[in-house]
Each structure stands twice: as structure tokens, then as C-alpha cells.
Amino acid sequence: MKKFLPVVATMAAAMLATTAVRAADVEVIHWWTSGGEQAAVTVFANEFDALGGDKWIDTAIALGETARAAVMQRALGGDPPEAAQFNPGRQYEELIAAGLLLDLTPLAEAEGWSDIVRPDTIESSCHIDGKWWCVPVNIHSWQWGWASIPAFEKVGLAVPKNMDEFIAAAPKLKEAGIIPFAVGGDGGGWQISGMAGVLQLNMLGVELRDKIFRDLDTAAAAGPEVTKVFETVRSLQQYSDDGSVGRNWNDTTNLVITDAAAFQIMGDWARGEFSVAGEQPGVDYECVAGPADKPYLNTGGDIFVFFKQNDPDVERAQLKLASMMINPRVQALFNNAKGSLPVRDDVDMSLADACMKKGLALLADPATVVADVGQYRTEDFNIQMNDLWTDFWFNPETTVEQAQARFVDLIANAD
């Protein structure tokens, strides 16, 4: 009985609040268009609509680069969406500098985001100079290899635990008519660049990598360790197939799902595809952390920014969305669907499958958690890296020396 009055009061207040407030449309631009991604974004959309009143307006634009470009153009033109997806890092620094983004600090402080969001690399991508400019929604790591168990069984080999083991197994796979190394070349080479980045981190270690990409040390960029990375990438090229030109990432993952290919280096968002296809980890496919004996977990992921709309009703709806995206229940549903890791610890991940549990274990160990290299530099730089890697991969005339020289050049001119 004691609880009765407060409950009634809250309900009355809520009813009054909803009737007094105008429902708003929140347009969200994102690039989640594959099967697993679509399941995840539906969680967000349905949960938001279920909160009542305001509506999620979905504007999906295929391919991250295209979607981000559309957001930027609309921001430029003065007609930005209410919310937009980005990757944590510097992709949105100009938007902050231009004062176009909604300051989420009051909401963040009220809900205690600084204490909840982990690890630091993710928190600091949104919590900049004491203010919160975006809400992180998940953690994705590129450092994963995905192996088709039947493919390896066919040639009588165990699923490789690191790249050396894979390279040793590759010729046998090729002989057996299986595509040893599945990679896709679409979108200006982002997959190739990402794959090379994975090898880079494994082979250089995090200190050397950060020296080059964060501190812009050109001498290190010209060094022999980097040469070895280029050589390794080049040696993998012969194990991929003709169809890799222009193939998108989930079609490539599909090759592994259907056992036409043996191995793919891809971020943990690939797990969503396996799950939508009904495959079981440990039975149909294996997720190899690293792929290395001492794997890293690099913390990329997705964040959402909210553009100022100069309308208090819309702003209220935007803040409601931000709060919803980070609350534990929605985090559990969303990340389970997407195959990513939640940005807070108090999330019920009991439904997580074996691969996600591996990821969670790595996340708990601070020694393995490193920042995503894309966070250090601007999108312009990252795109130029994509150009470098895609040319190196597909053009046999570009030598290791030329590619490395170009790399040093990029580091020297980076801003």
C-alpha cells in the first residue's frame, strides 16, 4: 500500500507528460544492411517505437563510406538527420567543432555514463574534453579469423590458431578446390585494409603500431617489420579467388558459411551472418581470436551522434533514443543480434554464444584491449590507406617497396 501512491503519481505524471508532449520523428541514418545487421537495427527501431509516441524513421544507406558521406552532405546543406551512425574516432570531429551536435553531457551525467561505459578507448571516443558528444552502442573488434570446420576437415587439418598455421595449410586447401582465403574487394578496399590492419597489429604489436599511426613515426613506418607485413599480405593474395573483386563482406562470409572457402579475416560482426544462417560455433564454423596465439581485441564499434534540430520536442525524443540505446536490456538484445560486445558490464549476456563469450573474456583482460587504429587518424587518411591496400592487393605491378614508400609518405603527411 505504501508503494501505491508513488506509483499512481508516477503514472499520472507519465500520462500527463505524454499528452502534453508532441510525438517526434527521429530519422536515423545508418549502414546496417546485411542480414545480421538488419536484425540488430530492428531491435533498436522496435524498442524505440515500443516506448510510445515517437517514431524511428529508418534511412539505411548501404556501405559505410556512402552513408557517412550522405550525413556529411546533409549536415553541410543544413538538413541533417536526427541521428547518425559513425565509428568511434575522428570521423565526426568537424561536426563537433562546427557546433552541429547535440551535447549529451547532461544526460550522460544523469545516467552516469562515465562510470558505466568501458573500456576507456570506447568511452574516450565520445567523452571528449569533458563533454559527451555521442552514445557508444557496441564494441566490435577486427581481430578475428573465421574458419569453416568442414573445409579443414576435408583436407584433414585442424583449424589454424594463427596465421602461420593457416599459411601452411593453404596450399592443401587450394589443391582440394577450396578457396583458402576469402576476402572481398568492394567499397574502395575497406575489407582488404581491415584485414591488413589485423595482420599489422598481430605482427607489429601494439606499441610499434601506435608509434606509427598515433605518433606518426616515419622511421618506424619505413622499417623492416612493416616490410614483413606487406610481404605477408602479398603472399596471401594467391590464395584468394577471382570473385573477390568488388565482392561485399557478407557475400564473402557466405563463402565460409557454405564451406566454399576455408578462412576469412573479418571483424566480429561476421558472427551475425553465421547465426542468421543457422550455423553453430564449434560445429560448422570456428572463430579464431587474433588470429594469433596472443590475440588482441581492438575496440572499434559504432556510435550515434545526434544533430541539433532547434526543436525541443525533437530534442527530447533524441535524448530518449540515446538513453534507450545504452540501457542494459536493449544493449543485451542489440548486441546478441549483432554479434558485438556491449559497452557496459551489467548487461545480461547469458544468451551469448561461444564466440561472443570468447570476446567478452578478452575484453575483461586489459592487456589485450587496444584502440582501433582508425581512431587515430581522419577519415581522409583512412581512405587513402584503403586505396593503398586495395591497389597493393589487386595490382601485381605495385611492389612491396613502392607500397611501403607510399605508406611512409602518407604517415609523413598525415594531419
Partner 1 sequence: MTAAVDNLPGRGAAIEPRGPKPKRLTPARIGIYAFLIIASIFFLLPLWVMVTTSLKTLPEIRLGEIFSLPQQPTFDAWFKAWDTACTGRDCNGLKPGFWNSVKISALSVPISILIAMLNGYALSFWKYKGADLFFALLLFGAFVPYQVVMYPIIIGLSRVGLFGTLPGIVIIHTIFGMSILTLLYRNFFASLPAELFKAARVDGAGFWQIFFRIMLPMSVPITIVAIILQVTGIWNDFLFGLVFAGRENMPMTVQLNNIVQTTTGTREYNVNMAAIILTATVSLVIYFLSGKWFVRGIAAGAVKG
Partner 2 sequence: MADIAAARAAGAKPGVGGRGGGLRRRRLQLIPSIISTLPMAATAIGVFIICIIFTIIWSFTNSKLFPTFNFVGLDQYERLWATPKWQVSVSNVWVFGVVSMAGNLVFGYLLAVFMDQRIRQEDLFRTIFLYPVALSGVVTGLVWQWMMDPNLGIQEAVRNMGWTNFQFAPLVQPETALYGMVVAGIWGGVGVTMAILLAGLRGVDTEVWKAAKVDGIPAWRTYLFIALPMMKGAVITAVILQAVGVIRVFDLVIAMTGGGPGIATQMPAVYVVQAINTRAVGQGMAAATMMLLPVALIIAVQFVFRWRAKLRAERLATR
As a whole number of angstroms, the distance between CA 379 and CA 385 comes to 10
Residue ranges of alpha helices (H) inside 78-189 are 93-97, 105-111, 113-116, 120-126, 149-154, 163-175
Give me the sign of the Cα torsion angle 339, 147, 294, 385. Answer: negative
- Quick one: 187 or 197, whose CB is closer to partner 1? 187
Question: Using CB under 8 A, which of 21, 55, 70, 237 touches partner 1?
Answer: 70
- Quick one: 112 or 177, whose CB is closer to partner 1? 177
Bridge partner residues of 297 (DSSP): 369
Cβ contacts of 376 within 8 Å, gap of 6 or more = 89, 90, 210, 213, 214
Helices 328-338 and 35-50 meet at what angle, rounded to 10? 160
The H or E element containing residue 309 is none
Question: Using CB under 8 A, which of 53, 55, 63, 94 touches partner 1?
Answer: 63
At its nearest, how many Å lie between partner 2 and the CB of residue 256? Answer: 16
Interface with partner 1, residue 57, by CB under 8 A = yes
E strands in 325-378: 369-371
Interface with partner 2, residue 216, by CB under 8 A = no
Instruction: Give the interface segment with partner 2, choosing from 41-49, 162-170, 284-292, 386-394 (CB under 8 A).
Output: 386-394
> First CA to last CA across the chain, in angstroms?
64
Interface with partner 1, residue 188, by CB under 8 A = no
State whether residue 262 is helix, strand or coil: strand
Bridge partner residues of 136 (DSSP): 303
Question: Using CB under 8 A, which of 162, 391, 400, 414 touches partner 2?
Answer: 391
At its nearest, how many Å lie between partner 2 and the CB of residue 189? Answer: 7
DSSP state of 30: E
Interface with partner 2, residue 313, by CB under 8 A = no
As a whole number of angstroms, the distance between CA 247 and CA 173 comes to 21
* Interface map 122-151 toward partner 2 (x if CB under 8 A): ------------------------------
Interface with partner 1, residue 81, by CB under 8 A = yes
| Residue 23: how many other CB atoms lie within 10 Å | 11
Interface with partner 1, residue 256, by CB under 8 A = no
Instruction: Give the interface segment with partner 1, choosing from 8-16, 62-70, 283-291, 367-375 (CB under 8 A).
Output: 62-70
- The grid coordinates listed for 384 are 587513402
Judged by CB under 8 A, the chain residues 76 through 105 that form the site for partner 2 are 76, 94-95, 98
- Quick one: 187 or 359, whose CB is closer to partner 2? 187
Site for partner 1, rule CB under 8 A: 27, 30, 32-35, 38, 41-42, 45, 56-63, 70, 73-74, 76-79, 81, 248, 250-251, 254, 273, 276-277
Site for partner 2, rule CB under 8 A: 65-66, 68-69, 72-73, 75-76, 94-95, 98, 185-189, 242-243, 245-246, 378-380, 383-384, 387, 390-396, 406, 409, 413
